[in-house]
């Protein structure tokens, strides 16, 4: 998009300047450069360009799942993170955790995403810009690559957690034993994964 360059001139209502290429943008009118990501309002990233929506949706959905898991199944959240082998997804999860599982906070807390610093005083929101949208794409792809395994672990661990809770309620499990709840959940998860693999191998041999 052919946008005017900022050279210190007075800018108009709702306009702002990209901190990377110095082009004058107006996000509310869908006039922005390639560096533009969106604006942050009430803790959410909005006015995202259509072509950038999909990777942000992938990340936003994953963050929401992590938030729910951490809030309602803390032991399962911790055990899932510990059982994941891929260091990139583990690092990504930790970064989301540091941002309180909020996409807008994740953007604001990361130095590669920069807010507009030159803008008209009438502006209610400020746009965020980056030279590194490839990081967003890479994070989205990492999530897509790992989501199947992640979901399987969560489902198995939740089942193990529920079994453990029922065992405690029915006095089949001694809460004073040296085994922690997380240890028990992990063991149940590993057992179920082994059974699943054996079943899959058996099925493959008979086909």
Q: pLDDT of 2-28, one tens digit each?
A: 899 999 999 999 999 999 999 999 998
Please name the helix (run of DSSP H) or strand (run of DSSP E) that holds residue 152, with its range, or none. Answer: helix 133-169
Q: What is the pLDDT of residue 2?
A: 86
Q: How many residues are present in the chain? A: 207
Which region among 86-90, 169-173, 191-195 has the lowest average model confidence (pLDDT)?
A: 169-173
Q: What is the pLDDT of residue 207?
A: 58
Query: Residue 78 is encoded by which pair of tokens?
Result: 């911790």
Radius of gyration of the chain (CA): 23
Res. 136: pLDDT tops 50: yes
User: What is the rounded distance in angstroms from the CA atom of residue 185 to the CA atom of residue 13?
Assistant: 57
Res. 198: pLDDT tops 70: no
pTM value is 0.74
For the chain, percent of residues with pLDDT exceeding 70: 77
Query: Residue 53 is encoded by which pair of tokens?
Result: 């929506």
Q: Computed from CA positions of residues 109, 112, 113, 115, in that sequence, does the dihedral angle turn out positive or negative?
A: positive
Res. 169: pLDDT tops 50: no
Q: For residue 127, which of 18, 4, 10, 12 has the smallest C-alpha distance?
A: 18
Res. 176: pLDDT tops 70: no
Mean of the per-residue pLDDT values of the chain: 83
The SS3 of residue 130 is coil
At residue 159 the predicted structure's pLDDT band, cuts being 50, 70 and 90, is confident
Res. 200: pLDDT tops 70: no
103 vs 168, residue with greater confidence: 103
Q: What is the pLDDT of residue 183?
A: 58
Res. 82: pLDDT tops 50: yes
At residue 188 the predicted structure's pLDDT band, cuts being 50, 70 and 90, is low
User: What is the rounded distance in angstroms from the CA atom of residue 90 to the CA atom of residue 157?
Assistant: 17
At residue 171 the predicted structure's pLDDT band, cuts being 50, 70 and 90, is very low
Instruction: Please spell the DSSP secondary structure of 74-125, one letter per residue.
Output: HHHHHHHHHH---HHHHHHHHHHHHTTT-HHHHHHT-TTSEE-SEE-TT-SS
Res. 168: pLDDT tops 50: no
User: What is the rounded distance in angstroms from the CA atom of residue 97 to the CA atom of residue 94?
Assistant: 5
List 45's β-bridge partners, or say none.
Answer: 40
């Amino acid at each position: 998009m052919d946008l005017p360059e900022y050279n210190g001139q007075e800018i108009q209502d709702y306009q702002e300047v990209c901190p990377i290429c110095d082009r004058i943008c107006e996000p509310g009118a869908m006039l922005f450069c390639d560096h533009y990501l969106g604006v942050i309002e009430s803790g959410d990233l909005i006015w995202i360009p259509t072509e950038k929506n999909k990777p942000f949706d992938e990340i936003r959905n994953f963050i929401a799942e992590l938030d729910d898991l951490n809030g309602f199944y803390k032991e399962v959240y911790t055990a899932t993170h510990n059982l994941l082998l891929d260091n990139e997804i583990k690092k990504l999860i930790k970064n989301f955790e540091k941002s309180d599982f909020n996409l807008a906070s994740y953007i604001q807390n990361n130095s590669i995403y920069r807010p507009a610093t030159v803008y008209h005083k009438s502006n209610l929101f400020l746009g965020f810009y980056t030279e590194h949208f490839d990081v967003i794409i890479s994070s989205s792809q990492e999530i897509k690559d790992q989501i199947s395994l992640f979901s399987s672990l969560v489902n198995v661990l939740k089942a193990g957690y529920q079994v453990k809770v029922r065992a405690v309620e029915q006095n089949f499990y001694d809460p004073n034993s040296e085994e922690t709840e997380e240890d028990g959940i992990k063991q149940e998860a590993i057992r179920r994964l082994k059974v699943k693999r054996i079943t899959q191998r058996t099925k493959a041999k008979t086909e």
